[in-house]
Structure 1
Amino acid sequence: MSSYGRQFVTTELDKRLPLHLTSVGLSEHQYPINREDGFPSFHWLHTVSGSGSFTANGATMRLGPNQGILLKPDVPHSYHADTPVWSTWFLTFDGALGNPITASLDLQHMKPIRWEEDTPLAAVHEHYAEKCRYSFDFAGINGSLEVYTFLTLLKQYGQVSGEPSLSKGHERLTPIYLLIEEEFGDPNLGLDRMAAELRISSQHLNTLFRKSWGVSPYQYLLQFRIQKSKELLISQPDRPVKTVAEAVGFQDDSHFVRTFRALTGMTPVQFRRQYS
């Protein structure tokens, strides 16, 4: 693929947006770069073909195909080709919420991030080539959405230090999601049964859930049951709270009410009144 690139003027309106795009492009062959003062925006760089070496904070990392790195603004760095041809793709961005958004997505800075060839990240340079070719409007909100979409792709498919990507983690847990969907009304559904579904230990299942959702399997199950109870409270306004609790897997309606209040800030009766 031939090189392409777009630079964008940052307006005062752009500076107030959560994120805004400052540049995007592909270098058919990346020439050596040495930035002693860093780059003024967040800077993403990844390898399309060939390989290169990227140095930041005294550490040098090799970037092969389907590997990239994200840098915060003003971090001194340099990079150069290790192969006769090193094709790279870059995206730079800034924004009023650049730091908190990348932090909330738990995106690693200055660590190589890799992804599988069958993920959207592997073809992102082609996606943007089309947009640049047809003069897609990257200004304002459009550019902000493009950056956020890209960052969520990194979150979903990126792998750091050999850990599976978020999408792989969800794929592994699919049998549990199906089990909960079908059996949430069974009060005997618990951690041991869910672990047995995947033929792994309860501790391992707990680890997988916390990596994918930030909560334990039991907390996920409780949240799912409460969500289902909300649907019943609204769709069946005359149904007693006690039978709603039983339908979603609570043997004790007082436990149901306590859990509902803890997760929603109101009782089931108050919730029902709000939507009646």
Structure 2
Amino acid sequence: MYSQTSGLTRFSWHGAGAAGLAVVLWALVPLLVSAAGELPPLRLSALALLAGALGTLPMARGRKRREGSLSKGHGVVVHLGVPLLMAGAVGASFASLSLAPAAEAALIIYSWPVLFLLASRWLVLRHIPRTTVIGALLAFSGAALLVAPQALASGFSGAWSGYLLALVAALCWALYSLACQVPSYRLGERMPHLLLIASVMTGVASLALEGVSELPSPSALLATAALGLGPYGIAMLAWDRAMRDPQAGRVGNLAHAVPVLATLFLVLAGVTAPDWRLPVAAVLVLAGSMTASHR
């Protein structure tokens, strides 16, 4: 009995540690994107995803696949649908951060844990509990506190398109986290291939929509490599590990700290000026996320 309990506790601690690592790395995304600002969003996405594929290759190769080959339907979902979600999440995130203020866009992007909770509760319970609805409303009120003044001032121009893209990125991240919970997909073992396919998708879109540009500066390339190896390399493997934890529902709550940390990093780096709305909105998002996750 003791050894079984100890093993379960150790396994859960591993999951919490993996989730914590992913959260810190994801919170650095807005700061790293601002450092690579000279690159167009889709080109930055393609290069970052390529760096992530190369960075995760040694770690993923060390795992032995215990499952058989995927069925035809699951193969299409994993090798086409999941990279499409990755490309949409990363591309929309980078585009939103270039079109809207970084702290505000990041807060909307990282409201995805609430969307993930809404979807997962519906899939499991076939209804959404009242606490989940209340928490979602609290979290989205925090995002609205930042978005509403800009939206009312500029209508459907200016930063508004960046806010919409941030919402698209949040939807893609929520759906990706749902896919991570499907045991037969085993996304962690396929991560380099999935990231490479997503990189090709965004690269083709970049050539079609952004054309050919000059080579980026060394500092921009360094920020891109950091994005790929960290938030879209190690963090993706760590989050996949966290979502396979027996306590995935509780471990996933750590993702609610991402918008708070992202805002803090931007303010400390001087990218975002301190504003009373930022901490209030971050607290609302955090409180709403924790309320929504309450069982």
Instruction: Bin the TM-score by the shorter chain.
Output: under 0.3
Higher RCO by CA contacts (8 Å cutoff, separation 6 or greater)? 2
Q: TM-score, normalized by length of structure 1?
A: 0.25
Tell me which protein shows more strand as a share of its residues: 1
Q: TM-score, normalized by length of structure 2?
A: 0.24
Greater radius of gyration (CA): 1
